[in-house]
Amino acid sequence: MATDPTATTTAKVSPAAPGAEYADTASAAYRNILGIIETVEPRIADATRKELADQRDSLKLIASENYASPAVLLTMGTWLSDKYAEGTIGHRFYAACQNVDTVESVAAEHARELFGSPYAYAQPHSGIDANLVAYWAILATRVEAPGLAEFGAKGVNDLSEADWETLRSRMGNQRLMGMSLDTGGHLTHGFRPNISGKMFHQRSYGTDPQTGLIDYNAVAAAAREFKPLVLVAGYSAYPRRVNFAKMREIADEVGATLMVDMAHFAGLVAGKVFTGDEDPVPHAHVTTTTTHKSLRGPRGGLVLATEEYAPAVDKGCPMVLGGPLSHVMAAKAVALAEARQPSFRAYAQAVADNARALADGFLKRGARLVTGGTDNHLVLLDVTSFGLTGRQAESALLDSGIVTNRNAIPADPNGAWYTSGIRFGTPALTTRGFGADDFDRVAELVVEVLNNTDPAAGPNGPSKAKYAMADGTAQRVHAAAAELLAANPLYPGLTL
């Protein structure tokens, strides 16, 4: 999808990139907004302008980032931010929340319709918050409610101190099983430094050491042995699809609640790239997601649930959350409305197609990929074949105008900080209009940088962070990246 690099307001845009049709209006809005900010704190206005320039001038390949439309971004900058609204729709602890009720109702309606879920909760401030709401809703439904019935209490305040201590002990001694961090899971799936690993007795399942793929028989065997209350599926760095029907079978066999964290691939679910057994919503008891990443909305979270778990999820505030961010819920509603348009399905399919093109581009140039490829939105490159750590590769690429993030690979010898991998994602550049040929060129540029980068010693000897690049590499790759970026402008027609 190339465009005339000299074009300005008439630049061709991906049909999935909303906002070009009102670029002039958005330009005026942002100029006015920044002008007002500048009168109070000019450094913030300046940093905001520079951030747009930086994003326009770099190849953004971070799998968890995207570009929201001007409509979504502008929705967050309103007086809805000024309203407290603890509680939920129609049941607030503050007066005069009728407009927030409308905002939250519309966001939840769009989420239900988009994902085919009987219930949606739009209040979580982030993906971690969404997961916390989900975990405590599961505990409330599976442990607290039966305990209250056993002790003849209507609520926790009606329990005797002895009964409360018994119930609290039960709630704090439940088991959770999720995907390990080095094989693609997220830190909120039971990683011990995270609160999820402190809330539960935790065990991880991994992937097949030879293929890097989930071995469902091995997951089932581990679940039978461990008998978790919660089985978590979903990932942040697993470049393949998941059979959620099989995960539900495993959960049902051991009496576990299946929770799916689809934060990374929610856009592929919304865009019907993942259907049937690969769509988590019909199979999970509780599904969580962020609203940015592949869904291309504001930074925030959602919880979807079956009717069994809906009442507990609905108490996310005050159970886990503070006051909802009404302005962000409004932006979620706008983004979810955008995702219900036919153009979003075309976008989601392009995200997956472009990921395969990127993976193929790496493979034909001799690079090594975890699982040997991808069939979702991300690619995980093993950089040990280049003699580098993930930290060295990430920094060298950044010097060359390519923004990525280092990521652990299975059984990573360099650990979670330096790592041995680089994670690439296609959602952001697909929003800009990049196509398969563009991503093949991106792969070529990445390999060029890594082939021309070597480890370098620090002041105290060998270093996993220091590196040296051949002269001229960064400048050459920067120039080539600039050609791709000029052909696929970000927020075309938007001028500050």
* DSSP secondary structure string for all residues of 141-159: IIIIHHHHHHHT-SSGGGS
**299 noted as active-site residue:** yes
Name residue 178's beta-bridge partners: 204
Please give the pLDDT value at position 4: 30
Residue 236 has pLDDT above 90, yes or no: yes
> Which pLDDT score is estimated for 19?
63
pLDDT at 3 over 50: no
The residue annotated as part of the active site, out of 60, 142, 299, 406, is 299
Catalytic residue (choose from 183, 290, 404, 473) = 290
> Catalytic residue at 67?
no
Cα–Cα distance for residue pair 476/168, rounded to 1 Å: 61
Pick the CATH number of 343-487 from 3.40.50.300, 3.40.50.800, 3.90.1150.10, 3.30.460.80: 3.90.1150.10
Of 38, 86, 163, 249, the catalytic one is 86
Angle at 476 (CA atoms; ends 472, 481), nearest 5 degrees: 150
Identify which of 403, 405, 365, 400 has the alpha carbon closest to the alpha carbon of residue 385: 365
Active site residue 215: no
In the predicted model, what is the mean pLDDT of residues 343-369? 97
pLDDT score of 23: 79
pLDDT in tens, 309-340: 999 999 999 999 999 999 999 999 999 999 99
Is residue 418 flagged as an active site residue?
A: no
Which one, of 270, 260, 284, 288, lies nearest residue 120 by Cα?
Answer: 288
Q: Write out pLDDT tens, residues 407-457.
A: 999 999 999 999 999 999 999 999 999 999 999 999 999 999 999 999 998
Taking Cα atoms as reference points, which of 104, 103, 135, 129 lies closest to residue 119? 104
- Reading the block at residue 133, the tokens are 């709401």
Look at residue 9 in the predicted model and tell me its pLDDT. Answer: 32
| pLDDT of 13 over the 60 cut | no
State the virtual CA torsion across 325, 328, 333, 336 in degrees, nearest 10.
Answer: -130
pTM of the shown model: 0.93
Query: Which of residues 34 and 10 earns the better pLDDT score?
Result: 34
CB 106 within 8 A of CB 289: no
pLDDT of residue 7: 30
pLDDT of residue 458: 82
Whether 192 sits among the annotated catalytic residues: the reply is: no
Q: What is the structure's pLDDT at 480?
A: 97
- pLDDT at position 18: 58
Q: Which of 3, 49, 84, 340 is catalytic?
A: 84
**Of 103-107, 150-154, 254-258, 381-385, which range is least confident?**
150-154
Owner of token pair 């791709």: 484
Q: Which amino acid is at 138?
A: I
Which listed residue (104, 144, 182, 261) is catalytic?
261
Q: Is the pLDDT of residue 218 over 60?
A: yes
What's the pLDDT score for residue 141? 97
Among candidate residues 293, 296, 391, 432, the one labeled active-site is 293
Averaged pLDDT for residues 54-82: 96
Confidence at residue 10, expressed as pLDDT on a 0 to 100 scale = 32
What band does 20 get if pLDDT is binned at 50, 70 and 90?
Answer: low
Contact 65, 424 (CB under 8 A): no
> DSSP characters for 33-96?
HHHHHHHH-HHHHHHHHHHHHHHHTSEE--TT-----HHHHHHTSSGGGG----EETTEESSS-
pLDDT at 15: 38
What are the residue boundaries of the structural domains of the chain, listed by start?
Answer: 80-339, 343-487
Q: Edge to edge, what strands does the sheet with 175-179 contain?
A: 119-121, 301-305, 286-290, 257-261, 230-234, 175-179, 201-205
CA distance 299 to 107: 14
Q: Which CATH number fits domain 80-339: 3.50.30.30, 3.40.50.2300, 3.40.640.10, 1.10.3720.10?
A: 3.40.640.10
Q: What is the mean pLDDT of the chain?
A: 93
| 423 has catalytic annotation | no
The structure tokens listed for 241 are 């699809």
pLDDT tens track for 154-188:
888 999 999 999 999 999 999 999 999 999 999 88
Give SS3 for 470: coil
Confidence of residue 14 (pLDDT cuts 50, 70, 90): very low
Taking residue 56's Cβ as centre, other Cβ atoms within 10 Å add up to: 15
Name the helix (H) or strand (E) containing 103. helix 98-115
